[in-house]
Amino acid sequence: MGIVLGSNQYGKAENRVVRIYRDEPRHEIRDLNVSTALRGDFGVAHTEGDQSVVLPTDTQKQTVYAFAKTHGEGSVEEYGLALARHFVDNAEPVGGARIEIEQYDWDRVVVDGVEHNHAWVRRGPEVRTVAVTVEGVGNDRREWVIGGVKDLVVLKSSGSEFRGFLTDKFTVLEPTADRVMATSLVAQWRFAGTTVEWDAVYPSIRQIVVETFATHHSLALQQTLYEIGKRILAKHDEVVEVRMSAPNKHHFEYDLGRFGISNANEVFHADDRPYGLIQATVGRDDAPDAGSAWVPQRGWLV
């Protein structure tokens, strides 16, 4: 029985990059967490310790920061594409590159009703995400872009049911026609191409997510996720697939009756674990091949 090296990649994870744009008196800020991963024929590095085919992870880090200056004027997707293309086109052993980016948004400080030119307050906890994968050169070049959001915490106090479910001898959960529904959503959407109005599409999709969550009467979190994905695809032709992961942040009505106090669905205990984890993919039946677009570098991707 032989022993062989399986799939492998390497890179520099979580480069924290902050770019301040000082061209005008009103400064702008871009706050990113950038991870790189290179793929190719690096077998001898593993089997023989031969590093002649390895572009150091430190070099990848330096490139990330350099490109924040030289390629940082456009959208975060364009920045990620520039990085991935650079590694594939300029390092001979590299056959593919994946760039994962988290963007942290900041709101301007308001003083006496006026936005400050160079002071901000961090927004959160939600984070905009981008994953770019580039493989091959010339006619064999393939490129994928996945946009997304994570840690989008949403809650509604009514308009959600959960009843008619399968039961067995261990079932103790009572059906309900009116419950609190809350989640910390991870949503990602795969684009058909790389020519997109990136900074216009993101807020539009985010708005679809939160509006659907709020207004769609939910018979189950599964149904809500499907409706979100369906509405995104109906509005945005440039999106071919949506993947979502939604932990059910349970809220249980607290027993105040033992104190002689009525509690008509008003006071809850918020349980952080264990939690139901609902995941779903909604896509077009004629969507182009996803290739390695969804292969993650780090574990949070769906």
Binding-site positions for 5-hydroxyisourate: 57, 162, 179, 222, 248
DSSP secondary structure of 75-119: -HHHHHHHHHHHHHHH-TTEEEEEEEEEEE-EEEEEETTEEEEEE
Q: What is the spatial distance between Cα 9 and Cα 241, in angstroms, rounded to a whole number?
A: 25
| Strand order across the 15-21 sheet | 15-21, 28-40, 94-104, 127-135, 142-156, 181-191, 239-248, 276-283
Annotated binding-site positions: 57-58, 162, 179, 222, 248
Which residues make up each annotated binding site for O2? Answer: 57, 248
For residue 118, indicate whether it is catalytic: no
For this structure, is 12 an active site residue?
yes
Contact in structure between 232 and 188 (CB atoms under 8 Å): no
27, 57, 59, 194: which one is catalytic? Answer: 57
167 is catalytic: no
- How many other C-beta atoms are found inside a 10 Å radius of the C-beta of residue 64? 21
Q: 150, 236, 249, 250: which is the annotated catalytic residue?
A: 250
What is the SS3 assignment for 177-240? Answer: CCCCEEEEEEEEEEECCCCCCHHHHHHHHHHHHHHHHHHCCECCHHHHHHHHHHHHHHHCCCEE
Q: Quote the CA–CA distance of 11 and 117 in Å, as a whole number.
A: 36
With CA atoms as reference, report the closest residue to 245 among 216, 219, 225. Answer: 225
A 10 A CB-CB count for 31 gives 17
Question: Residues with catalytic annotation?
Answer: 12, 57, 250
